[in-house]
Every structure is written in C-alpha cells, then in structure tokens.
Structure 1
C-alpha cells in the first residue's frame, strides 16, 4: 500500500461538474447543493492541491491550465470510486432506471423491443424533458441509462458520460393529402425546399429539424407548442402548405387527410443513442447494452451508407461506418 492524499470525492465531483458546465449556478443545480456550498468545495480542493483551477471572470468561468490538466484524472478517479462502491453494494435487486426523451417520436417503442427480450433484468422506464435534463439526472445518480437523440450542444461536453448509437431510423415526410407533393411515392429532401416546415417547438430547440432545414434549403418554418403527435398531424392536415418530419416507424394516430411519404436521395436518418454514467454504473447495465447491440444487429438498425443516407453529426456518433 502506498500512502497518498486523502481527497474528498465530493470536492472532486464538484470540480468535474463545474469543469463540464463552466457555470457555478448550473453545476450547483446538477449536484443538488447551493452555489455557496459548491464554491466552498472548489476552494477547499484548490487549497488541498495548491493550484487555482478556475478563472472566475465577471461574466464567464474558464479553466486554468491546472484545471484543464485535471479534467481527465478527475473523471477516472470518479469512475474508480464508483466501481469501488459498486463492488461492495448489493444492487442486483434494484431496477435499472431508464429515462427517454424525444417523446413526440415515441422512443419507448424501440426500448420495448429490447426490454421485452430481457426477462432477467428489471427495467424501470421513465421520462426526461430533453438531452441536458437526462444527462444531469445521470450525473446526479437519479437514473441509470438514457435513450434518445445525442448530439453536440455548444458549451456542453457531457464529461463523465458515455454514449453508444443504438438505432438509425429513416425519416418520412408527413403531408396533407391536398399538398401538391402528396401523391408522390417517394420524395427527395430538396423537393421540400419551397414548403413550410412545421416544428413542434422553436427551431433553436429542435436540433435534427434545424440541421435538416439548413442542409436542404428549407427557408420557411412555422413553430408551435408541442401538444403531442396528434396535434402536429392535425396542424399539417389543416395547413396544406405545411409538412413535418417523423421517423418512419412512429405509430401514427388515426387522423384522416394526411399521408406519409418516404424520403430518398438522400434518406435522412434519425439517430437514437444510449447514454450512461461512467462512474458507479448499475450492475446490469452491461446486460442491457449488450441486448441493445444484439437486437440492433438482428434488426439491422445501424445500417448506414454515406452515398445513400444523410446523418447529421456523423463525426460525433459511435458505431457507424
């Protein structure tokens, strides 16, 4: 045994979360403590290490060179601590908590395919608001696994979390039967450039739709409240100049007067991913990840051809080639 410093892991975790968010207020919220308590933990850690870790400007927080150097070791230390605790804790009987987001596109239908084939694993499904919300819940330990669309967010690095691509789903365009393009058997994304894209929230909050509009020249968009899938479909039905996009396998409610048309040349793909906390994982997390991988391979969920398909953020996704 080698003697070493007695580091307080709560202070290390405070540093790691603050280094990720570069915002003391948001970091305190994620950790479930006051901003004053967070500042004290950081200050005491800096005192123990003899190094300043953050530059605290009037309008922004940034890492010092010492802080940058410690981000990797801090993540590894917290992961090791989680493994240490998991080795001594009997959590086999606790259900694995799995939160989904992107509810308009029915993420639970994909999760159900896998969970139904895992009779030996107790999974407790739940709902998160969005990617940042589920990421924060994972870091707090409030959930064990997330499922939804993982994409880059400016200023957010998701330190301490890992993700894996689970499914690539072709996207259809939904049109009113009175739309000039509704009779087509298949459409190119560029054919939609003169239409109005209906968005169930402001476009700034809808990463996939925003990138689709930028890539294929959709200049006109219309945003409204996300009141559920039926409401979005009814809006498209009642506004024949509008269209919206949906993953191809989303079960549509019975709303007459609309038609889903496949897109090709290229085919847009909606990426569903798994997201989990690297430190202190649930003991059956590996079984669930393996089941998603096996199910995805059998159902050919991860097929991608760059000459045929369009996938935003391809460089940020794992397991695609």
Structure 2
C-alpha cells in the first residue's frame, strides 16, 4: 500500500491549475525548487509521470489527468478531516492569484487578522463557481450569471466589484500610440481571448460584448496562459486582447495598454455564497464586500443586461463600428 504525501498531491494540483511551476510556487508559498521536488516525490510514489513541461507551461500527462479528480478529492477529505477536529476555516474560491479578488481578500485579511480563511484556487476549466456548487468552497468570487450551469436558488450574491477592461496591443499596432480608444474603435480589430474557448460565465460575457459592440472575439479553440497571449498579441499588428485593470498582467516590453471608453466594458464580479447553513465566518466578509463595492464606476461602464440590476448599471445603445 502506498502512503501518498498530501503536500506532494497539493503541489500537483497547484501546478495543473496554474499551468506553471513558478505560479504554483507563489500559490503554495514555497520555492519553485520545492514544488519540483514534491512533484518528483509524487511521481516516484505513483511510478508514473504526472506532469510534463513544455513551451506553453506545465500540463498533466494522461496519467496525471486520470489522477487529478482523485487528487482533488483527497485534499478535500483531508481538509474536512482537519476541520472536523479543530474547526474549519472559511473557504473562499478565487480564479487565480493574479485576479483582483486575490488582492481584495488580502486587504480583508490584513484588517481582520483573527479571521481564518482558506483560499481555494480554481481554473478556467474548474471555476470558482464550480468549487462553490461542489461544496469545496463556502463562497466564491465570480460572475453570477452566464455559463453552462444555472446556480441553485439557495446561492446568495452581492456585488463585489466592477472591473473595467483595458485593451492590450502590440507596440506596432495602429492603436499602440493612443491613450484611449472608444469601444467602437476597438471593435475594428479582432480580440484574441483564448480563455473564452471553454463554456463559462466569462465566455458568455465576451459573446455578449461581441453582440453589443461588434467586437470579433477569437478564442483559438483552447485556453492559453497569459504569457502565451501576450507573446502572440505583441507579435501582431492586428490582434488585440482585453484584460481587467485589476488583473496583475506580467510585464512585456512589446505590449501597450490602452484605455477603452464610450463606454468602458466592465466585468461584474459578485460574491456568491450558500444561504443555507452558511459558515459563521461569512457574515464579516459579506459586509466588507458590500461596503467596498465600487458603485461609482458603474455609470461609465457597460455590463451585460443580466448583471445590471445587481450592479446598478444602466444600458447603452448598441455601438456602431
């Protein structure tokens, strides 16, 4: 019988979710070398290679993909076992460490040092909403509407923040020298958003943005890391991409950021939580999020119609490209 090292299992899940050993190291709070050692230990215990490195980052092998759902279950059971003995921390699901929601949680925890919170990191294919619905999280930062799955009626929501989007272009792009462009002008160039290749609430957001403003959204058929996106956009004189102003975009010398106006598209991030048997630590976070919502931004932003009531945003006439 094999006694699996849970730290190694956790490192494996982090690498697969983040797509890079370095990003996984940041999430786990250890060195990249330590992540590599833990993966090597897991592979030695299992007798198979579970992760392979390539030019586009780290991905699970066929054996790794088979092991992944069991790895997630092992970690969930282990965390619940610890929680049953000493009290479980509030579990909050985020899409990633680079998201603005991660900064929001850091701000909250810095000002509430006695609060116990466990951050549950999700991915493009296994979203924060999925973590909430599956019971792996007590709350999640995500869009309330859209996506392939209708959320249960028992899930409550509050507006967390509107995240204005900016346009990223290569330094040789015709829009590179502009401080700002209208959404209609931005729509004259195709936007490469590979994250929208997977059915999700943000894929629906970009579909609705395309329908509203005439923006051509290209996905390439599969998600890509932000580094790959930046490389391709930097090398193109035609392609653009969108990124949230709160997202920590890696520095790239060939990329220029351009503000989008008239109107500014904004992604509506909500805090979602189970209204039944809510975790006792949830009330403070909900109150903090409600108090900090940047409602003043809504007047200048476009958000999809379904989100407008929750975020207090008004509609806009369809832009002409």
- Does structure 2 conserve the Cα–Cα contact (< 8 Å) formed by 1:166 and 1:302? no
Q: 2:155 aligns with which of 137, 153, 161?
A: 161
In the alignment, the residues of structure 1 paired with residue 125 and residue 219 of structure 2 have an alpha-carbon distance, to the nearest angstrom, of: 23
Do 2:144 and 2:270's aligned partners in 1 also have CA atoms closer than 8 Å? yes
Q: Per chain length, whose mean CA-contact separation is higher, i.e. which structure has more relative contact order (CA < 8 Å, sep 6+)?
A: 1
Residue-by-residue CA offset, 1:97-135 (whole Å, 9 max, x unaligned): 111126774532232222222212111001124698544
Q: Does 1:144 align with 2:138?
A: yes
1:196 is aligned to 2:193 = no
Aligned to 2:282: 285
Q: Deviations over 1:240-299 (max 9, x none)?
A: 2100111113222121111011111111111111111111110110011112223x15xx
Q: Which residue of structure 1 lines up, in the alignment, with residue 231 of structure 2?
A: 234
Once the two structures are superposed, residues 12-68 of structure 1 have per-residue CA deviations (whole angstroms, 9 ceiling, x without a partner) of xxxxxxxxxxxxxxxxxxxxxxxxxxxxxxxxxxxxxxxxxxxxxxxxxxxxxxxxx
The runs of at least 4 aligned residues of structure 1 exceeding 6 Å deviation read: 89-92
Rounded Cα–Cα distance in structure 1 between residues aligned with 2:282 and 2:99 = 24
Contact 1:196 1:218 in 2 (8 A): yes
Query: CA RMSD for the aligned pairs?
Result: 2.8
Confirm or deny that 1:258 pairs with 2:255. yes
Residue 117, structure 1, aligned to residue 106, structure 2: no
1:92 Cα deviation from its structure 2 partner: 8.8
The residue correspondences of 1:1-321 to structure 2 (distance < 5 A) are: 93-101=87-95, 105=99, 107-129=101-123, 133-153=127-147, 156-201=150-195, 202=197, 205=200, 206-219=203-216, 221-223=218-220, 225-294=222-291, 296=292, 301-306=294-299, 308-315=300-307, 317-320=309-312
**Residues in 2 aligned to 1:109 and 1:186: alpha-carbon distance in whole angstroms:** 26
CA distance in 1, matches of 2:128, 2:246: 24
Range with bigger deviation, 175-184 or 249-258: 249-258
Distance change in 2, residues 1:283/1:270 (3 Å): same
Closer/same/farther in 2, CA of residues 213 and 105 from structure 1, 3 Å limit: farther
Distance 1:136 1:197, change over 3 A: closer
Report the count of equivalent residues. 228
- Distance in 2 (CA, whole Å) between partners of 1:312 and 1:112 is 28
Q: Aligned pair in 2 of structure 1 residues 90, 102: CA closer, same or farther (>3 Å)?
A: closer
Q: TM-score, normalised by structure 1?
A: 0.63
Q: Which structure's CA Rg is the greater one?
A: 1
Tell me how far apart the structure 1 counterparts of residues 151 and 141 of structure 2 sit (CA, whole Å).
18
Q: CA deviation at 1:225?
A: 3.6
TM-score, with structure 2 as normaliser: 0.63
SS at 2:271 equivalent: strand
**Unmatched segments (≥5 aa) in structure 2:** 1-82, 314-321
| Residue range with higher mean Cα deviation, 124-133 or 142-151 | 124-133
Compute the displacement of 1:198 (Å). 0.2
In structure 1, runs of 5+ residues without a counterpart are 1-88
